[in-house]
Amino acid sequence: MVDTRLAGQVVLVTGACGGIGAAIARAFSAEGARVAVHHFAETPPPSGVAWEHAAFPPEVAVELAGELGDAAAVQGDLREPDAPRHLFEEVEHRLGPVDVLVNNAAHCESPDTFDSLTAGGLRRHYEVNAIAPALLISELARRRREGGTPCVVNVSTDAARAFPGQVGYGTSKAALEALTRAAALDLAAAGVRVNAVAPGPVQTGWMDAGTYARARSIVPMGRVGEPADIADAVVFLASHQARWITGQILQVAGGHAL
């Protein structure tokens, strides 16, 4: 049996109500961690824009936290500059100082092409996918306990390399990967590790039968990913077994986009 040494640690998972985020929350809970399940209050998209990410009501976060046991549901709109500070304050009040930060929350909208590009669309992508993770990492570093060795795992995507039709989403995730390396270098002396996982095609309910078949056909390992595939990689990067790993982007994609 591998001892991840995560039992009793406080883990904040942003965007944790469903899909990959919920799988990550459950995986940490299975290791004995105390999990903060983050959710946000959804707002209607502007005219002509569609949100391409799932939205969950607060009761879903509360229900998931109840299933996990030693956990708490915490709310925060990551587009707000003060959200990271308020989020950490609430988690510390309810569970204790954060040991592991998982930046999983993401914004994705359509249209997101060069012929439909708007300043508002770019701003919304970058606020959630790059700026918020940077501020959350900064908050974690400032609140680090004496002798503590907190870590961060960012959730990127294959689209960070190149993904036609996802300009704002893909480039904001590329910024997240650059942030991963920058934070790893800047915070290494303080004992803070920062890594990322980059999922390939994962079925979280967004693929219909045709999309699923096409995605499976382009993955060298012959199958579409499941949320647990990503969650296991995130837990590994946060575990004692990854104690000398920092600044890495781990592709978890069955060979896709190599």
**Higher pLDDT among residues 209 and 147, named by residue:** 209
Q: Report the C-alpha dihedral over residues 166, 167, 172, 173, rounded to 10 degrees.
A: 40
Give the per-residue pLDDT at 82: 96
Q: Is 103 helix (H, G, I), strand (E, B) or coil?
A: strand
Write b or e for each residue in 161-200: b if 16 or more Cβ atoms lie within 10 A of its Cβ, otherwise e: eebeebbbbbbbbbbbbebbbebbeebeeeebbbbbbbbb
Q: Which residues are catalytic?
A: 169
* Model confidence, pTM: 0.96
In a domain, 79, yes or no: yes
Write the burial class of residue 243 (CB in 10 Å: 0-12 exposed, 13-18 middle, 19+ buried). Answer: exposed
Model confidence at 29, in pLDDT bands (50, 70, 90)? very high
In a domain, 68, yes or no: yes
Q: Which two tokens stand for residue 6?
A: 């995560």
The residues that bridge with 11 in the sheet, in sequence order, are: 35, 100
In a domain, 5, yes or no: no
Give the per-residue pLDDT at 58: 86
What CATH code is carried by the domain that includes residue 56? 3.40.50.720
Give the per-residue pLDDT at 162: 73
Give the per-residue pLDDT at 39: 94
Q: Which residue has the tokens 């609140």?
A: 143
In a domain, 3, yes or no: no
Domain that holds residue 149: 10-252
- Average pLDDT of the segment spanning 104-114: 95
DSSP code per residue over 168-189 = HHHHHHHHHHHHHHHHHHHHGG
Give the per-residue pLDDT at 1: 62
In a domain, 51, yes or no: yes
pLDDT in tens, 141-188: 999 887 789 999 999 998 898 778 899 999 999 999 999 999 999 999
Tally of structural domains, the chain: 1
In a domain, 141, yes or no: yes
Is the pLDDT at 43 greater than 90? The verdict is no
pLDDT in tens, 44-68: 899 999 988 887 888 999 999 999 9
**Higher pLDDT among residues 162 and 117, named by residue:** 117
User: What's 6's DSSP letter?
Assistant: -
With beta carbons less than 8 A apart as the criterion, state whether 8 and 33 touch.
yes
CA 16 to chain centre: 8
